[in-house]
Amino acid sequence: MPVRIAYPYDPDELEAHNPPFVQDLIDLKLHGYHETVSEICKMVADLKQNGKDCRFLKQLKNYAILELKSHSRGRQKGGARAYLFRIRENFLVCRAEWKPDNEPSLECLEDTAYILKAFKEQRMVFPAHHKNPITFKEELS
Amino acid sequence: MSYLPQRPRKNSEARAAALAWAETITQTELDQLSDIGIPNENPNTLEAQVNTGVFEQSIGALLTEARKSRGLGKRELARQLGTNHARVTQLENAQNLELQSILGVLDKLEFDLSIQFVSRRDGKAIGAMIPMRKTVQQ
């Protein structure tokens, strides 16, 4: 079964220009975390290719939330983290941060859980205007 | 030490409650939910998408800085451009950025545009200067 990757919106911010995960990567890059962003992009690409067998994927203890965690140590790559949840073979990536220690930020966990709960309750997390312009162009060509 | 992008968050109590709820739900329950309507993104274009966002937000921040450097409020600039306050806010928030609008703001604020491409291989730069208006010789 093919793996799908999606970047859901915060249900309270459906009119936002970017979903929170993409906006996190933009903010990280604007603050100089270039390697962190590249590492997270690499991990998401690996997730798309390998699904549940992705080598960066970790189940967070006590929660129905998953984490993409870099295997690199130290510096910008080592702290690359993304938080997501899974619906069958679909991975919905919600937030990202740079955090070299093991504990995820409470804010990232809460926001991911908030999107997950909204999805479970069938609230909208993919607004009608959402369309990755680059992917869209590829679909057209 | 860590870096978490900060943004205003609504419903902080509901978010905390959602996390407590996420302790009670199982993956088996999640797998029973319908996956119809979930988009299929291409992660190979993610970094390009991020770079586009960085580019847009940098332009927006520069437009804000340029306006403030002239001591103008958004309403005053909008009046000079013949548009409304909301459109200036849009441009500065990097929404619906159009090249023609950006150049129009620069011209009105009396800024010229300099573009630089910097080689990642050797740091060498190539660039172009684009004057917004032909200088009138006195």
Task: Answer for the pair A136, A32: CB distance below 8 angstroms, yes or no.
Answer: no
Q: Measure the CA–CA gap between B12 and B32, rounded to whole angstroms.
A: 28
pLDDT tens digits, residue range B79-129? Answer: 999 999 999 999 999 888 899 999 999 999 999 999 999 999 999 999 999
Q: Is the pLDDT of residue B136 over 60?
A: no
Which region holds residue B56: left if phi is over 0, alpha if psi is between -120 and 50, else beta?
Answer: alpha
Closest CB from A4, A64, A108 relative to B22? A64
Q: What is the distance in angstroms between the Cα of B97 and the nearest Cα belonging to chain A? A: 12
Find tokens 């590492």 and name the residue: A39
Interface of B with A in 71-110 (CB under 8 A): 93-95
Contact: B52, A133; criterion CB under 8 Å: yes
Q: Which residues of B touch A25 (CB under 8 A)?
A: 46, 50, 53
* Of A92, A95, A102, A88, nearest in space to A60 by CA: A102
- Which amino acid is present at A24? D
Segments in chain A forming alpha helices (H): 20-30, 34-50, 75-78, 106-120, 133-140
pLDDT tens digits, residue range A39-64? Answer: 999 999 999 999 999 999 999 988 99
Strand ranges of the sheet holding A90-98, from the earlier edge strand across to the other edge: A4-6, A90-98, A80-87, A66-69, A57-59
Contact: B30, A48; criterion CB under 8 Å: no
Contact: B30, A64; criterion CB under 8 Å: yes
What distances in angstroms separate CA A99 from CA A12, A108, B22, one per listed residue? 25, 11, 22
Q: Is the pLDDT of residue B8 over 90?
A: no
Interface of B with A in 27-66 (CB under 8 A): 27, 30-31, 33, 35, 37-54, 57-58
DSSP B43: G
